[in-house]
Structure 1
Amino acid sequence: MTTTLVKYHTLGNDYLVADPELGAPAPGAAATRALCDRRTGVGADGVLYGPLPAAGPVADTQDTFDVRVFNADGSECARSANGLRIFARYLREHGRTRRDEITLRTPGGDVRVRLGSPVTAASTIDLGSWTHHSPALAGGAELIGVPLEIEPGTEVNATAVHNGVPHLVALVDDATAELAARIGPAIVGYAGFAERPNAELLTVEDRRTLRVQIWERGVGYAPASGSGACAAACAAHRLGLTDPSVTVVMPGGTVAVEITKDERVLLSGPSSCVGRVTLADEFVPHLGAEGPQ
């Protein structure tokens, strides 16, 4: 059977949609690593496997879809704000739904996505509530604006945010790609964490504008991250530095984040379709034979 993938990106954060109806392999680490390799595969930051058979009852098959998200290194991500916005666009563009708003079910919880009109316009995802109690910390402790020595001689002002994925937001004077490459791996790999978080380096430009650099577990340096932008906005707001609605500027571009009165976080931003990729017969064996994990 021919295997076809569809590639999208949002602000340079790129994903492959692997749809079983288009011959996609079962979700798993080996297949994901093979597909995401930028030299010997198609190349991407991750793979969106779905829509998959429903893990529970679905009242409306046009409204609710199951999907799993994998990072480029093969590790599974509970959910990805950018990835899920891309997946919602894929479903609409490929006739799987006619709705403007749908629910995506992930291991990290259900999320609602509202598609733009036209579908190429900015979409909005509701990531729900968040907490500063992180499973990355021993006992799920709360961490807000605390000095943290991530390696000998390097201390950051740290705030934990968990919005379905663990994040560690470091408030810095000047968030640059060079600084992210230097301390991002140390934050992600900090020995005091029970679970690796994504690292966001945050500089507050004014009460409505943030500048953020991203270092993701399982990916490394990333030009943009939806859940990372939300984590930075939540941290800045909790520290009293910003208004509820902010623009988050990342190397790949900008997104809008809104913290609602009932403390839910909404992310709005664009996405772009790169195109369809049909895998060669000689490449398919490299995907490995994995069943669902």
Structure 2
Amino acid sequence: MNGLGNDFVVFDARQDPLALKPAQIAAIGNRQSGIGFDQMVTVERSTNGGYAFMRIHNCDGSQVDACGNATRCIGRLLLGEAGLKAVTIETNAGLLQAFSRESESKVAVDMGVPRLGWQDIPLAEEFADTTQIELQIGPIDAPVLHSPSVVNVGNPHAIFWVVDVNAYELDKLGPLLENHPIFPEKANISIAHVVNRNEIRLRVWERGVGLTEACGTAACATAVAAIRKNLCERLVQVHLPGGTIEIEWRAEDDHIIMTGETEIEFEGLLDLETLAFERTAAGDAVAESVT
């Protein structure tokens, strides 16, 4: 599946538990020799009030607590299975609500309340104002990037504000900033340009993944940071390489609502010993092209 090009391999592990080693996960995620993905998601039984539990691994085998686009994709599957307008998904970041929209493929997720305190990001040292922290890369008198906003939306994010998101080699800068000592749990690194009060352009280096077509939690974090800096309204369109996602940061309860398209690419069978796979059913794009 994918949400705006942010792609996932999904396993239903509610009947038969799935325990893969990091090396196996990385092999499945390899885009040359495996299926290839940004994250691997296992849908498991919930033990804390959810319709199901969602476990997320990056393509390097590391586990993360949240992924907004994955939540929308899993929400689509569970909404269809349950025949409901809303389902609760348990994650390591808490209980998240997924809602159906005007079409089967369009799903909204309540990502909860962002964490804004320096200790909640977390950062390695105290900053009273997390809309702009002291961090730069490059010469002191002419930094390449500097003064990011930081937000936690299930995982840590740093957003650098720029004029042109395509003017930076994020594939080189991303790893340096992701592993900067200021981020004890590493961080997702974004460069963002505010087009107007209702639109943002965004590129993302995702920790444990690399450059990605889209990142839902980064879109949420960037919208929240822009609103806190009074650069945008509370409803904003975030344009990523993979497409556009709508983010609303509600004033009445501080919850973030993320809405966007999802796509089923294909279904298949995977041999867990050899990691060989075969496609058994077409997805949305193939079905649409056939009709």
Identify whether the pair has TM-score above 0.5, normalized to the shorter chain: yes
Cα root mean square deviation, aligned: 2.2
Q: Which of the numbers 4, 8, 22 marks the counterpart of 1:15? A: 8
- Give the drift of 1:25: 3.0
Q: Which amino acid aligns with 1:66?
A: F
Aligned amino acid, residue 64 of structure 1? Y
Between stretches 25-34 and 260-269, larger displacement belongs to 25-34
Distance in structure 1 (CA, Å) of the matches to 2:10 and 2:182: 35
Equivalent residue letter for 2:123: L
Task: Give deviations 1:173-225, integer Å, cap 9, x for gaps.
Answer: 21127432232222211122211010111100111110000000010001111
Listed as ranges, the matches of 1:274-289 within 5 Å are 274-280=265-271, 283-284=274-275
Aligned to 2:57: 70
Which whole-Å deviations, capped at 9, do the CAs of 1:70-113 have from their partners, x for residues lacking one?
A: 111111110111001111112234x3x22120111111111101
Q: Distance in 1 between matches of 2:237 and 2:13?
A: 36
Question: Distance in 2 between the 1:53 and 1:31 partners?
Answer: 22
Which residue pairs with 2:73 in the alignment? 86
What does residue 225 of structure 2 align with?
235
Aligned residues: 270
Alignment CA distance shift 1:152-1:75 (3 Å): farther
> Is 1:138 aligned to 2:124, yes or no?
yes
- TM (normalized to structure 2)? 0.85
CA contact (8 A) 1:12 1:224 kept: yes
Tell me the SS of whatever aligns to 1:235: helix
**In 2 relative to 1, CA 219–177 (structure 1 residues): closer, same or farther, beyond 3 Å?**
farther
CA distance in structure 2 between the aligned counterparts of 1:147 and 1:140, rounded to whole angstroms: 11
Contact (CA 8 Å) 2:14, 2:45: kept in 1 or not?
no
Change (3 A) 1:23 1:283: farther
Partner Cα distance (1:217, 1:45) in 2: 10
2:190 is aligned to 200
- 2:37 is the alignment partner of 1:53: no
Where does the alignment leave 5 or more consecutive residues of structure 2 unmatched?
278-291
Deviation at 1:138, TM superposition (A): 1.9
1:157: Cα distance to partner?
Answer: 2.2
Instruction: Give the Cα separation in 2 of the matches to 1:27 and 1:84.
Output: 21
1:31 equivalent to 2:24? Answer yes
CA contact (8 A) 1:257 1:266 kept: yes
Deviations 1:236-261 (A, max 9, x none): 11111111111101111101111111
- Cα displacement (A) at 1:28: 4.6
Aligned partners of 1:87, 1:275: CA distance in 2, in Å? 14
1:252 and 2:242 are equivalent in the alignment: yes
Q: Quick one: which amino acid aligns to residue 205 of structure 2?
A: W
- Between the aligned partners of 1:281 and 1:35, the Cα distance in structure 2 is 10
Structure 1 unaligned regions, length at least 5: 1-7, 287-293
TM-score, length of structure 1 as denominator length: 0.85
SS at match of 1:173: coil
Deviation at 1:146, TM superposition (A): 3.0
- Report the 3-state secondary structure (helix = DSSP H, G, I; strand = E; otherwise coil) of the residue aligned with 1:272: coil
Q: Give, in whole Å, the separation in 1 of the partners of 2:138 and 2:64.
A: 26
Asked if the contact 2:178–2:207 (Cα under 8 Å) also holds between the matched residues in 1, the reply is: yes
SS at match of 1:44: coil
The change in CA–CA distance for 1:91 and 1:145 in structure 2 (over 3 A counts) is same
**1:245–1:257 CA contact under 8 A, matched in 2:** yes
